[in-house]
Amino acid sequence: KEASREEFFLKLPQEIVDFVDKALQADPRNRPLAKDLLRNDIFYVIRYEMAQIEGEIEQSFEQRLDQQSILELYHYWQLGGGDVFSELKKDGLMRSRLPVLNLPNVVLLEGRSLGVPTDSNLMPSLTIVRLDATHILHRLRKLKHNSTKLPSFSAKSCETQTLPLVIKERDTEYQFVRLQFYNQILQTMPKSRDQLVKEARQDIAPFVRARVWAELLHVAQDYQTTYRLIDKESPLPTDRQIEVDIPRCHQYNELLSSSVGHMKFKRILKAWVKSHPHYVYWQGLDSLAAPFLYLNFDDEARGYASLTNFISKYLHNFFLQDNSAVIREYLAKLRQLLAFHDPVLASHLHYIGFSPELFAIPWFLTMFSHVFPIHKILHLWDSLILGDASYPLYIGLSILQQLRNVLLNSGFNECILLFSDLPEINIEKCVTDSIFFYQSTPSSVTYRQHQLHGARKNSLDLMPISITELQSEFSPRISASELHDLIVKPLLRSKILVIDIREPLSFSKHRVSGSVNIPCSSEELNVKGNKKSEIGFIQRPEMALLYSNKGKIIIVIGEEMKLTTEFCNFLVGCGFPKVCSLSGGVSTLQNYRYDEILVKL
């Protein structure tokens, strides 16, 4: 009546009047939900017309589509080839404009622009554009679901599983099935965590990647409250550096390089610095935050919480004021891991003086986010987040393996140039190789004193190694507890060779079960063979035994770690892979009472 539309209202069909009355109930308890209103008979005509165009739609399929969020439906529409910008151009709502016409008149030093021409494409419009979903409905109807429940299909049940990851992520049918399954799992978290990990090892659907990462990183349910309580506005000494770093971080990415992206970047970085007073802001933190902000652009708090848990797990103590010991230990472990799996490449890089300090610091400080573009980082971190704190070392190793042939034929200067502009890296192969190396390496080989310790302990926890001592050892150490496991398990026992380099008398008194005694001296190992009268270890008959077992894990046991280290370095120089030494020597086995694997006189 107030709008003078009473006459028009009275002409409406009774069905629409009833529908409006239901929707306008003042008491929310009596007001139906939107999904209930959409089931009203007045929408039957629309559903009937769609059925006439598309053919008969199975009831179960319609129910599934009704349960999807508008964002998820839009995601399917995009996968099916939908382009919203093309649709807007068709309706004349977007027009091409030369970039030079959008330049501001003045740009201030702090980055503010003045006199920017108004772009009509950026102005709000009340025009409604209908997005044609015919093509996507055609494709989704090909899926045959007999159940009215959410489909419980794993990745293995789809033919697309064998295709490359990039293709799978653009396949509408495959993503539809995977999303139904992931939605089912995420709704029952944390009870279904094991199932989530299992599916994530196959692949992670891009649409739910942010939620899956948050669950795998154990982000707390109250992350929004935690983030809201952090002061993100007060000035900090690091503000200037943050403002310098943000514009340079993934500047090719339209989302992250936007003004809104920069504001979100700044808030997340300031929140992390403010909530971690025992750490400092190091350049590289912005690169670490980039993937989380990109995935959680509409949920800044979850992006911050995921970043915090990620750093705690993989970069423990990396952001200390003095982090030199942490980084030096990490790089020494990379060098040892390379010598363990590829002694030829490790020896070559050592010979030309090309150490990990010259190329790998940005790798690990940013977990490769500074090295690769966002789309590659997402695939790489899908695998990384499923691994433990040592897994980044295996990613570094797999990258070096892809560059192996070039590195072996390069000198120091060529290697510097190579890593200044890294060649194309196959991320899928990198992930596959990383998993292979990880599974074929004893876990204590990559043990670090500065990593965040979990419940699992081994003898290395009780025997800290100085950085100087660690850097002098070309081969890694293995713990007594892991040696015990390798010996007592029959399937693993055949994969190792235990070499005891002590004198025969000491060996006869007590030895590791199944070990081989090959006594040696420092003088023998250091013989260069320049003189005919000199007889080095390389000429001893025991070398035949070592060569016949090449490829097995060779565990060297001695009394003094100095001689043990020299023997391991000698084997690596001869091209033997998988060489390691027992941490603490034979005395460790006696001190920690591993009598089960000791044979005594």
DSSP string computed for 381-447: HHHHTTS-TTHHHHHHHHHHHHTHHHHHT--HHHHHHHHHTPPP--HHHHHHHHHHHHHTS-GGGG-
Predicted model pTM: 0.81
Q: Which of 91-95, 146-150, 400-404, 413-417 has the lowest mean pLDDT?
A: 146-150
Q: Give me the pLDDT at residue 59, please.
A: 47
pLDDT at 67 over 60: yes
Q: What is the architecture, at CATH level 2, of domain 467-600?
A: 3-Layer(aba) Sandwich (3.40)
Q: Give me the pLDDT at residue 62, please.
A: 55
Q: Give the model's confidence band at 463: pLDDT under 50 very low, under 70 low, under 90 confident, else very high.
A: low
Residue 273 Cα to chain centre, angstroms: 22
Sign of CA dihedral 358, 360, 363, 365: negative
Query: Could you tell me where in the chain the CATH 1.10.472.80 domains are found?
Result: 323-440
pLDDT at 74 over 70: yes
The CATH fold assigned to 222-315 is Helicase, Ruva Protein; domain 3 (1.10.8)
Task: Domain 323-440: state its class.
Answer: mainly alpha
Q: Give me the pLDDT at residue 125, please.
A: 72
Average confidence (pLDDT) over 75-92:
83
Average confidence (pLDDT) over 85-113:
75
pLDDT at 7 over 60: yes
Provide the total of helices (H) and of strands (E) in the chain, helices listed first: 34, 9
Q: Give me the pLDDT at residue 38, please.
A: 78
SS3 317: coil
pLDDT tens digits along 297-328: 999 999 999 999 999 999 999 999 999 999 99
Amino acid (1-letter code) at residue 305: A
Q: State which H helix or E strand residue 553 sits in.
A: strand 553-557
pLDDT, averaged across the chain: 84
Of 129, 142, 122, residue with least CA distance to 82 = 129
Query: Could you tell me where in the chain the CATH 1.10.8 domains are found?
Result: 222-315
- In 3-state terms, the chain is what percent helix, strand and coil (to 5)? 55, 5, 40
Q: Could you tell me whether strands 510-512 and 598-600 are parallel, antiparallel, or unpaired per DSSP bridges?
A: antiparallel
Average confidence (pLDDT) over 363-377:
94
Q: Give me the pLDDT at residue 290, please.
A: 95
pLDDT at 338 over 90: yes
Helix axes 343-352, 324-341, angle to 10 degrees: 130
Q: Give the model's confidence band at 527: pLDDT under 50 very low, under 70 low, under 90 confident, else very high.
A: low
Q: Give the model's confidence band at 149: pLDDT under 50 very low, under 70 low, under 90 confident, else very high.
A: very low
How many percent of the chain have pLDDT more than 90? 48
Which range among 106-115, 130-139, 173-182, 301-310 has the greatest average pLDDT?
Answer: 301-310
How many percent of the chain have pLDDT more than 70? 86
Residue 59 Cα to chain centre, angstroms: 39
pLDDT at 43 over 80: no
Average confidence (pLDDT) over 178-182:
88
SS3 517: strand
**Higher per-residue pLDDT: 254 or 107:** 254
Residue position matching structure tokens 């502009």: 421
**Higher per-residue pLDDT: 57 or 191:** 191
Q: Which of 167-181, 255-269, 345-359, 407-421 has the lowest mean pLDDT?
A: 167-181
Residue 138 Cα to chain centre, angstroms: 35
pLDDT tens digits along 426-445: 999 999 999 999 999 999 99
Residue position matching structure tokens 């340079």: 248
Measured between alpha carbons, how far is 268 from 310 in angstroms, rounded to an integer? 14
Cα pseudo-dihedral 317, 322, 324, 325, rounded to 10: -60
pLDDT tens digits along 388-424: 999 999 999 999 999 999 999 999 999 999 999 899 9
Q: State which H helix or E strand residue 598 sits in.
A: strand 598-600
pLDDT at 534 over 80: no
Structure tokens at 423: 């060649």
Q: Give me the pLDDT at residue 532, please.
A: 42
Q: Is the peptide bond before 190 cis (omega within 30 degrees of 0)?
A: yes
Average confidence (pLDDT) over 267-288:
94
Q: Give the model's confidence band at 209: pLDDT under 50 very low, under 70 low, under 90 confident, else very high.
A: very high
Query: Could you tell me where in the chain the CATH 3.40.250.10 domains are found?
Result: 467-600
Q: Give me the pLDDT at residue 162, please.
A: 72
pLDDT at 73 over 50: yes
